Amino acid sequence: MKDKILGITKNTAQWVVVYTRSNFEKRIDKNLKEQGILSYCPLITCRNQWADRVKTVEKPFFSSYLFVKASLFDITKVRSSPGVINLITNNGKPVVITDQEIEQIKLITRNYSDAQVVSIGSLSIGDKVKINDGALFNVEGIVNKVMGTKILMIIEQLGCAVVVKANQVALSVAS
């Protein structure tokens, strides 16, 4: 067996992104932990309202995604777990997430209960958004232009426009 397959080394565990069946994130996380594999399913607490009651529930921050710290040996177990569809890859190699990025996700999910994942592709000119992190925390603005992973926002209360790097701040649709 090679020491390195698909960019993952035989003995060194790295964080990879796993694509799961819909609504299987927490089950897979539990299953992998029971097998001794370090996994992380970021959860946020939200309130669901039905006609007869309101209930606080934990739901995955990233729908159909899970993070697993796995070595080459563990990848086979991960892929064969019920509910796992595949690893997220780029150019045929699993996407590797750094420990710092995992810590940032943990920080966001722990400190910002109203944080949401907003796909850049789903943002349109005129959408109202709120910055949930950084120097402009809690400032609302209107999307003026989407430029790859950057967003040009008009902030009326400050009378200015700013460019926000989407990978450095969490955005949520303002209500």
Tell me the CATH number at 73: 3.30.70.940
Mean pLDDT of the chain: 80
Q: How confident is the model at residue 125 (pLDDT cuts 50, 70, 90)?
A: confident
Burial class from Cβ neighbours inside 10 Å (0-12, 13-18, 19+) for residue 29 reads: buried
3-state secondary structure of 83: coil
Poorest-pLDDT segment among 41-55, 78-92, 130-144? 130-144
Quick check: is 4 in a domain?
Answer: no
Pair (38, 103) in one structural domain: yes
pLDDT of residue 175: 47
Flag whether pLDDT at 55 surpasses 80: yes
Strands 171-173 and 14-20, how do they pair? unpaired
Pair (107, 127) in one structural domain: no
Cβ atoms within 10 A of the Cβ of 153, count?
23
Poorest-pLDDT segment among 66-70, 84-88, 101-105? 101-105
Q: What average pLDDT does this structure show over 63-67?
A: 92
pLDDT of residue 170: 45
Q: What average pLDDT does this structure show over 64-79?
A: 90
Cβ atoms within 10 A of the Cβ of 25, count?
24
pLDDT of residue 1: 43
Q: Which residue has the higher pLDDT, 146 or 116?
A: 146
Count of structural domains, the chain: 2
Q: Which residue has the tokens 């789903």?
A: 122
Residue 32 phi/psi, 5-degree rounding, is -65, -40
Domain hosting 160: range is 120-173
Q: pLDDT tens digits for 24-48?
A: 999 999 999 999 999 999 998 877 7
Pair (67, 132) in one structural domain: no
Tokens of 13: 């565990």
Give me the percent of the chain exceeding a pLDDT of 90. 30
Pair (84, 52) in one structural domain: yes
